[in-house]
Amino acid sequence: MTEFRILVFLGAPGAGKGTQTTRLVREFRMKHLSTGEALRQKAREDTLLGNQARECMERGELVSDELMAEVVREYMTDFRDSTGFILDGFPRNLVQAELLEEIAGETPIWVINIRVDEEVVIKRLSGRRQCMECGRISNVNFSPPRQEGVCDACGARLVQRLDDLPDVIQRRLQVYREQTKPLTDFYSRKGCYFEVDGNQDTDTVFKRISAHLTGGESSAGNSHLSADRASA
């Protein structure tokens, strides 16, 4: 994969986007742009964009779609020495998706949706426990700590975050579905949308994504494939 491209990950909370991003950054020499972190970084800079971001954050206001797009535009220029970058947290709506099209210009946009069943997401997230001291994440369902309720790394107490309670997870999933359906429709029509079954183990998911990135078509082509079709 040598062509510079923008990779957009879609997927519900707990779909495994972070895990796959880490591997892609390492193995494909891609950059990772977390728009939340990028915005906070810009807010510390004494620039026009930084001042605008800082003023919004200090007032507790939502940052406008246009301002977020400008943050992405600046980082895109910085990332040209890589094979591309993975966007985390952008776009979240159709306005942002259209702004990203303007920013990208001739740069291909590839969209990967990691599709996971609701019961799998609930099992993954409801099993998470976070250390009160070092912040390390354990999972009682998949990688339980050696001693129940105790962090393997530092010995401090493990707790369940409020947003990992099953009823909260279900509300988060409902919001995600409402926000994401217009995006999947938008990118499907553009022929740059690929869907992978995220219920599988992380290695299998990564192999599917890697195969798509190395052998699939760019946004100029028709790569609207489901995970089943991709494996056919």
**Residue 17 known to be catalytic:** yes
172 is a catalytic site residue: yes
Q: Write down the pTM of the prediction.
A: 0.79
Mean pLDDT on 69-95:
87
Q: Could you say which of 23, 73, 92, 115 is catalytic?
A: 92
Is 208 a residue of the active site?
A: no
Q: Residue ranges per domain, the chain?
A: 5-230
> What is the spatial distance between Cα 178 and Cα 24, in angstroms, rounded to a whole number?
28
Task: Single out the catalytic residue among 29, 44, 80, 161.
Answer: 161
pLDDT of residue 225: 39
Q: Model confidence over 19-71: pLDDT tens digits? A: 999 999 999 989 999 888 888 888 999 999 999 999 988 888 888 999 999 99
Phi, psi of 93 (to 5 degrees): -150, 175
The band of 224, judged by pLDDT with boundaries at 50, 70 and 90, is very low
Question: What residue spans of the chain are helical by DSSP H?
Answer: 17-28, 35-43, 48-58, 65-78, 94-104, 118-126, 166-190, 202-215, 227-230
Query: Rounded CA gap, 96 and 105, in Å?
Result: 14
Q: From the candidates 17, 42, 54, 129, which is the catalytic residue?
A: 17
The answer to whether residue 115 is catalytic is no
DSSP category for residue 157:
B
Catalytic: which of 23, 31, 172, 207?
172
Catalytic entry in 5, 42, 128, 129: 128
Query: What would the pLDDT profile of 98-150 be if each residue is shown by its tens digit?
Result: 999 999 999 999 999 999 999 999 999 999 999 999 999 999 999 999 999 99
Percentage of the residues of the chain whose pLDDT score is greater than 70:
92
Which residues, including other chains, have CB under 8 Å from residue 123's CB and lie 6 or more apart? 141
The pLDDT score that the predictor gives to residue 187 is: 96
* CATH number for the domain running over 5-230: 3.40.50.300
Any idea which of 88-92, 112-116, 123-127, 191-195 has the lowest mean pLDDT?
Answer: 88-92
